[in-house]
Amino acid sequence: MNTLLTQSATQLPEAFRKLDPRHLWRSPVMFLVLLGSVATTVAAVADPSAFTISITVWLWLTVLFGNLAEAVAEGRGKAQAASLRAARTDTLARLLADDGSESEVPATRLVVGDRVVVEAGQVIPGDGDIVEGIASVDESAITGESAPVIREAGGDRSAVTGGTRVLSDRIVVRITAAAGDTFLDKMISLVEGTSRRKTPNEIALSILLASLTLVFLAAVATLAPMAAYAGAPQDVVVLVALLVCLIPTTIGALLSAIGIAGMDRLVRVNVLAMSGRAVEAAGDVSTLLLDKTGTITYGNRQASRLVPAPGVEQVELRDTARFSSLADQTPEGRSIVDLALAQGADDHDLPSGATFVEFTAQTRMSGVDLADGTEVRKGAGSAIAAWLGIEQPAEVHEIVEEISRSGGTPLVIGRKDSSGHGTVLGVIHLKDVVKEGMAERFAELRAMGIRTVMITGDNALTAQAIAAEAGVDDFLAEATPVDKMAYIQKEQEGGRLVAMTGDGTNDAPALAAADVGVAMNSGTAAAKEAGNMVDLDSDPTKLIDIVEIGKQLLITRGALTTFSIANDVAKYFAIIPAMFVVAYPSLDKLNVMDLATPQSAILSAVIFNALVIVALIPLALRGVRFRAASATSVLRRNILVFGLGGIVVPFIGIKLIDLLVSTIPGLGS
């Protein structure tokens, strides 16, 4: 709360600057309040009184408080932009010519297609793709993550961001974004709000608010001659006060702040949205496409058990599996060694003279050749059988099938002795482990009416087993880029909005087709150009958080709209009887709040109308608490909490204000 008060005090000058009519005309509701403030100011100068001056002051404060909500929201973004600018430094780039020569040029002069050399300790001068080399990169200036990451040429983790620092080795980077158009520049522009446009939903709500404003304007304009005819003529100050209290000033003042705060929450989780439409679409998403590897599962298959072939001792299989994997530095190889040690194997190195045989796509095997002529291999069952020159035993084939059906990966262990005689020793069960808590998160999404679909290149049996364990609603096995596109289009034809993540060039078509396409910052330039969001942390599970932020934005906007419209009810009971009680004394029965005088009733309603904006600024910036629930449940909660609260709170607030106002000379009884 203290932080918010500090921010409000800091942004107060900006709120005054926003009193410029050229800014306020974008919000018809607040622009009309501004015009009313001007009208009452003229009336107060012409015929000053405690009532007229008080109404005028509070109408100006209403406009100012609305501006303050927007200014505080924008101020948070500007503070983030300042820290991002600190990360952007003027650097010299080592431009690489076609003949291999280098020349130093300012980073601002780099154009798309230029190649630059970056070595350990140097800052990458611009966004680009690594075309040569591999390096450890410190991305903390962009992502806030202190742990360095590996970026290399030729894969889906080749993209680097300008302003990050190379920690080791030498790389050649091909520039993909000109100066002023880098991700850092786009992020600065986004958090400052300079590139923010109203979303379709926000535009539609603005049109609704403008329509309601016109309706109430016509009603108040019609009321003036009717009041005069009834013998209770109303001056301009009272009519303006009535109009301001009738139109939805609360949501009109907070609407922009809600949108800016929603974008701010997205930036705080290190996601760069290319448009506000994407954030809003995230709140309406009904189908989530998620990669299996790295998103639903850890992606590093782990050895979970060793199953010996008939006639083979468990100890023999254990020790042979360990020998075959001692020099295998892949996560799978290390997990086999760990499993063998956990089962009691001796922790000693390979015998002298042993030669490790690396895995190749052609052989589909790896292993070790011992000095005594013994050869050990582990790999696909068909590859091991071909290497041994024997048929795979039926019992081993059944084990392989059982592991495959369970969603695991079977690695068969084979051995040849020095005479060339081959034996199948058993099977290693590799399992892709589902991340903790994923099933629970998918259950929450299901409660919100969102379908989760797992995308994988695995066969259907493996995909089915992982999908069942993770708790997703559907899966797409052996998926190709064409399959992903077809699935997205099928979902969209049914009226669903689709979100997906991707990092490779082959993901680009699907990212472009999805309503919310989240590209990984570590991925290729093609993927980032195709998506409408970029996750700077390159965390595929971030998509779930993005959907929750989008839904929180829509829920907050709906809740405060409900409150704004509902709290007008109390103002009717305060102002309408006060205006006509002289002509029609029986209307005093509608004075259910027992307000002191007509003037104190009108002023109390105007004061409450201004103060409620200030009271709701923290909620607009923080957002209504998100709970996983269906749209029906959310609507019911909004009506009960914010609808009913919007009716009850003003009755209490206006009565308390009236108790204070009625003590002012000239306004009390």
Structure tokens at 327: 């020099």
Q: What is the DSSP letter of 514?
A: S
Query: 135 has which bridge partners?
Result: 151
Which strands form 271-273's sheet, in the order they lie side by side? 271-273, 533-535, 516-520, 498-502, 287-291, 451-455, 474-476
DSSP code string of 241-288: HHHHHHS-HHHHHHHHHHHHHHHHHHHHTTEEES-HHHHHHHHH--EE
Q: Is 301 annotated as a binding residue?
A: no
Q: Is 328 annotated as a binding residue?
A: yes
Q: How far apart are alpha carbons 278 and 516 in whole angstroms?
A: 6
Q: How far apart are alpha carbons 481 and 479 in whole angstroms?
A: 7
Q: Which segments of 25-168 are extended strands (E)?
A: 92-96, 102-106, 115-119, 128-132, 134-138, 149-152, 159-160, 165-166
Return the half-sphere exposure (C-beta side, CA atoms, 13 A cut-off) of residue 49: 14
Return the half-sphere exposure (C-beta side, CA atoms, 13 A cut-off) of residue 335: 17
Phi/psi of residue 232, nearest 5 degrees: -130, 65
Q: Is 537 annotated as a binding residue?
A: no
Least Cα distance to 522 among 541, 543, 508, 536 occurs for 536
Q: Is 74 annotated as a binding residue?
A: no
Helix or strand holding residue 357 (H, E): strand 355-357
Q: Is 570 annotated as a binding residue?
A: no
Q: Is 359 annotated as a binding residue?
A: yes
Q: How far apart are alpha carbons 588 and 319 in whole angstroms?
A: 95
Query: 138 has which bridge partners?
Result: 165
Please state the separation of Cα 123 from the chain's center in Å.
Answer: 28
Task: Select which of 114, 127, 129, 291 is catalytic.
Answer: 291
Q: Is 332 annotated as a binding residue?
A: yes
Q: What are the residue ranges of helices labelled H in 47-199?
A: 50-87, 140-143, 183-192
Q: Are strands 375-379 and 102-106 parallel, antiparallel or unpaired?
A: unpaired
Least Cα distance to 151 among 540, 521, 534 occurs for 521
Q: How far apart are alpha carbons 489 and 90 in whole angstroms?
A: 45
Other CB atoms within a 10 A radius of the CB of residue 263 amount to 24
Q: Is 365 annotated as a binding residue?
A: yes
Q: Is 183 annotated as a binding residue?
A: no
Check if the beta carbon of residue 112 is closer than 8 Å to that of residue 175: yes
Residue whose pair of structure tokens reads 């790896």 in the numeric block: 366
The packing angle between helices 598-622 and 50-87, to 10°, is 10
Q: Is 362 annotated as a binding residue?
A: yes
Structure tokens at 421: 């005689």
What amino acid is encoded at 130 in this protein? I
Q: How far apart are alpha carbons 33 and 399 in whole angstroms?
A: 77
Return the half-sphere exposure (C-beta side, CA atoms, 13 A cut-off) of residue 243: 31
Structure tokens at 228: 């005069």
Q: How far apart are alpha carbons 285 and 665 in whole angstroms?
A: 57
Q: Look up 291 and say whether it is catalytic.
A: yes
Check if the beta carbon of residue 568 is closer than 8 Å to that of residue 248: yes
Q: How far apart are alpha carbons 360 and 366 in whole angstroms?
A: 8
Least Cα distance to 527 among 500, 550, 547 occurs for 500
Least Cα distance to 568 among 239, 206, 255, 249 occurs for 249
Q: Is 507 annotated as a binding residue?
A: yes
Q: How far apart are alpha carbons 416 and 424 in whole angstroms?
A: 9
Q: Is 539 annotated as a binding residue?
A: no
Determine whether 611 is exposed, middle or buried from the number of CB atoms within 10 Å of its CB (0-12, 13-18, 19+): middle
Structure tokens at 85: 């600018």
Which residues belong to the annotated binding site? Answer: 328, 332, 359-366, 378, 503, 507
Active site residues: 291
Binding site per annotation, positions for ATP? 328, 332, 359-366, 378
Which residues belong to the annotated binding site for Mg(2+)?
Answer: 503, 507
